Structure formats: structure tokens, C-alpha cells
Structure 1
Amino acid sequence: MAPKVKAGFFGCCHTRCRQASRAPVVAPPAAYLAVPELRLTRLDQSHRRLDENRYAYAAPAFGYGAIPDVLPAGFVLHYPGR
């Protein structure tokens, strides 16, 4: 199976959406870039607010869930396990 990469720009956009939202769970889709074929597809994901600055992230299609490190400006610094 070819390695796959989620385009980082979309992750940054979604952290800003999460910060603006007071909903306990948001599910904005992202674009997913498959490598090496360079094919963009939809990635369903969810973000569950844990507290003012932390979110639980899940991408069910890959069986992935984590609490990423997010900078105050909204940029994801690190996705644990990735």
C-alpha cells in the first residue's frame, strides 16, 4: 500500500474553525492527498472539544484518533503517532 499524506494546510484551516466553534463536536471534511498518485479525495474527520485549548481528533477511515498538539495560533504542531 502506498504511503498517504494529509495536506497540512487543511489541518490548519480546521483548527481555526474548531476554535471559533463552541460546539462540542465538529466534523469538517478535509482534502486527502494520496502519494505517489497525487489524487485528492475527501477525508471525513471529527474534532471533539476537550477543553478550551485541546481537541480529540479522529479519522475513522484510517482507524486514527489522537489529541494533537495545537499552537495558540491554531496550527497543528504534532499529530501523535504520525
Structure 2
Amino acid sequence: AQYEDGKPPPWTMDRLPDDFVRAQLKGIVAFEMRIERLEGKRKMSQNRKPEDAQGAIDGLKATGRPVESQVAEIVAKANKDRF
């Protein structure tokens, strides 16, 4: 919850009817998977409208926290040709 400070409470399953939750739980299946290769891709709002990316930057900076400010700078650099 560290990154949700000041934001509305997140959605929870408490809002669902009990019978719906029980029915859904029956469909959950546990499994294990061996990972042999992992590829990552950094998404920094490049696929968003420029105003959405700017909103993300502004929101991150507004937290006043160093890590979020660093992420805001990365998003800004990734989108510099779009602003």
C-alpha cells in the first residue's frame, strides 16, 4: 500500500456477493511452472496519449518521494519526442 498513499482505497472482493465468490473459488486450480527464460519489457506510457503520459509524470512527481520522481524522469525521457 506504500504506492497508494493519498489515493482512494483499492477495490476488494468484499464488494462481491458471497455466493459469487464461492462459485469462482471452485474454478481456481493451483499449478507450478518451471521458468527457463524470462524476458522483460519496460512500459513507460509510450503507448498512451501524450496527455495521459504527462498525467502519470505529474502524479509521480506530486508524491514527493524520490523513487517516484526517478520513475517520472524515466517516463519523461521515454516520451520526450511526443511532448
| TM-score normalised by the chain length of structure 2 | 0.28
Instruction: Return the structure number with greater strand share.
Output: 1
Per the normalisation by structure 1, the TM-score is: 0.28
Q: From the two aligned structures, give the one with the greater helix fraction.
A: 2
